Amino acid sequence: MKLKHIYYTVFLLLIGLVFTGINCTFVKNPGLKAQRVDKLPVIDPDYTNTVIPPNIAPLNFRVDEPGRQYYVKIYSLSGDTIHIMGKMNRIIIPRNEWKELLTTNKGQNYFVDIFVKEERGQWLQYKTISNKIAPEEIDSHLAYRLINPAFRYWKKMGIYQRDLESYKETPILLNRMTDGNCMNCHNFCMNSADKMIFHMRAGKGSGMMLYHDGELVKVNTATDFSRAGAYPAWHPNGKVLALSSNTLKMYYHSIGESRDVIDFKADLIIYLIESNMVTTNPNIADPEYVETFPCWSPDGKYLYFCRAPKLENYFFTRNDGQEDLAYDKILFDLMRIGYDSKSGTWGELETVISSENSGFSVALPRVSPDNRYVMFTISRYGSFPIYHSFSDIYILDLAAGEYRKLGSNSESTDSFHSWSKNGRWYVFSSKRKDEVCARPYFSYFDESGRDYKPFILPQKDPVFYETFFKTYNVPELFMGPFKVRPQEMVKVAYNQKATLNASLDPDVKVKQRNEPETSIYQSAQR
């Protein structure tokens, strides 16, 4: 390459850095004489007074304090100090230096000193930000569905995986490759990328995509007993799946949050992978109840789920003589039932949390890996808390039989959650940033059951979330990456001859599938 070409290439790179706002310079301590300010600096995202994993990507941020130059110093007990100086307020932390700082100081605090140069030339030094580096790592990857928050614009979506140790995001599958169909319910067995499922809805590729023991297959779990399964849960033995079979209907309010979803009908089914068979039990598929959101305990001895009386119990006659549905009275209990995976036999059905006693509706139970806690979402009614502004995450201590609200909640919607493999971290969806888009937040959960201030998924550009208007749906932590190529998934999805049609357990009694009339609820007022 000629010398002038080299100069030209360097020039273009420098221009690119300027236009992306990454104009920070990594310098040695400049020894500034600064006036101290008795307050913490305002930074966005709010990475202050929290606990972070030792393997997380750099927490880049923007300094929201006016000035014409910025100097940031990041340091801990051991190792080198990171010095960053620039004219713009976007602080981009060098990845290698950050990684060295975190891995060298596990279990210690790290500190951030922020200096801002005023227009008149005076440097200001704000109070030191302090965060703790946890001893335990978080799972290396996060899976989620990216979807437009506006319900009329759901045609473009994809399931993605993000490397949490960097900013690398890759698609697991995009629906532009599958005729624009819906895809959802991705789930991993014990946080492992070796066993994973998700569902494709509508179109020729419909079915449950099952990756198991190095093989990818498509399964049709619909039988004469029920329609195809939805919300999934892997038994820890990796051979059994619990699925809900739901009839979900979206309807709209004229006041407040316009969207809502009602589970008109739902049962739980069990899919036995080795025999390609669907079975169930009267206690988890009772026609008098709506059963949904299955979750196995880590020892495989219990199946947790949510249950409410059937919809007919909530009909009433209005003053004008018309029949209506008291949708805001539908409350789900938290249930569990014993299970022996070797014999396939079931134990006694138990009510873990009664909605009659608690006054709220339970959704999305997730048992901690050490089998000590159940994390769940509560809302005022129903089973779709993502659309409810009053939606919080609670924790149940199984030994004490007591539950409480987690400190990571906000005044906005806080919903879908999942545990890390070691049980020291959990991720959840929150709309706290703008009340519209759900984004993933992480919180440390220590051995005593205490949770800490959450932090948002870090991005390379600190202002990323100001212009990215998509919802992160169903965040799932797992030890990745997931290595099946999207093209291979499409190939399997559209190979109708290779689709496995599940058989129905001959001991399961087939029931009549009478779908309820739904037209009068499509514009129900709130």
Per-residue model confidence as pLDDT tens digits over 63-79: 999 999 999 999 999 99
Residue range(s) defining the domain that contains residue 75: 21-133
Environment class of 251 (CB within 10 Å of its CB; exposed 0-12, middle 13-18, buried 19+):
middle
Asked if residue 519 belongs to a domain, the reply is: no
Name the domain boundary from 109, 133, 157.
133
The answer on 220 and 268 residing in a single domain is: yes
pLDDT digits (tens, 9 = 90+) for 431-465: 999 988 999 999 999 999 999 999 999 999 999 99
Q: From CA 425, how far away is CA 372, in angstroms rounded?
A: 14
Q: Tokens standing for 90?
A: 């976007």
Asked if residue 407 belongs to a domain, the reply is: yes
Q: Tokens standing for 347?
A: 């134990």
> Nearest Cα to 479, choosing from 425, 523, 428?
425
Element (H, E) at 26: strand 25-26
> Nearest Cα to 138, choosing from 365, 486, 475, 483?
475
- Taking each continuous run of H as one helix and of E as one strand, the counts in the chain are 4, 39
The answer on 155 and 59 residing in a single domain is: no
Q: Tokens standing for 254?
A: 């004229």
Name the domain boundary from 86, 117, 133.
133
The answer on 421 and 363 residing in a single domain is: yes
Name the domain boundary from 69, 104, 133.
133
Asked if residue 510 belongs to a domain, the reply is: no
For position 111, which CATH number holds? 2.60.40
pLDDT number for residue 270: 98
Listed in order, strand segments (DSSP E) in 273-353 are 277-279, 289-296, 302-309, 315-317, 323-325, 333-340, 345-353
The answer on 500 and 401 residing in a single domain is: yes
Q: Tokens standing for 270?
A: 């069990």
The answer on 146 and 126 residing in a single domain is: no
Rounded to 5 degrees, φ, ψ at 311 are -60, -30
The answer on 113 and 42 residing in a single domain is: yes
Q: How many CA atoms lie within 13 A of 279 on its CB side?
A: 15
Beta bridge partners of 263: 248
Asked if residue 5 belongs to a domain, the reply is: no
Q: Name the domain count of the chain.
A: 2
Specify the 3-state DSSP secondary structure of 261. strand
Asked if residue 356 belongs to a domain, the reply is: yes
The answer on 153 and 127 residing in a single domain is: no
pLDDT number for residue 19: 36
Asked if residue 96 belongs to a domain, the reply is: yes
pLDDT number for residue 4: 45
The answer on 111 and 145 residing in a single domain is: no
Distances (CA, A) of 5 to 14, 68, 390, 464: 14, 34, 59, 33
What ranges in 471-517 are assigned the alpha helix state H? 486-493
pLDDT number for residue 29: 63
pLDDT number for residue 524: 29
Tokens 């005044």 locate to: 411
pLDDT number for residue 307: 98
Chunked mean pLDDT (size 10), the chain, 526 residues: 43 40 54 90 98 98 97 97 96 98 98 96 97 98 91 80 98 94 94 97 90 95 94 97 88 66 88 97 96 98 97 88 87 98 96 96 97 96 81 97 96 95 98 92 97 98 95 96 97 92 93 42 28
Q: Tokens standing for 504?
A: 């129905």
Asked if residue 10 belongs to a domain, the reply is: no
The answer on 310 and 258 residing in a single domain is: yes
The answer on 170 and 109 residing in a single domain is: no
**Spatial CB neighbours of 173, under 8 Å, sequence gap ≥ 6:** 158, 159, 183, 198, 486, 489, 490
Q: Tokens standing for 145?
A: 């569905």
Asked if residue 475 belongs to a domain, the reply is: yes
Q: From CA 82, how far away is CA 26, in angstroms rounded?
A: 8
Determine contact, residues 136/154, Cβ cutoff 8 Å: no
pLDDT number for residue 152: 60
Q: Tokens standing for 162?
A: 């993000």
The answer on 151 and 98 residing in a single domain is: no
Determine contact, residues 341/358, Cβ cutoff 8 Å: no
Q: Residue 418: how many CB atoms within 10 A of its CB?
A: 24
The answer on 475 and 364 residing in a single domain is: yes
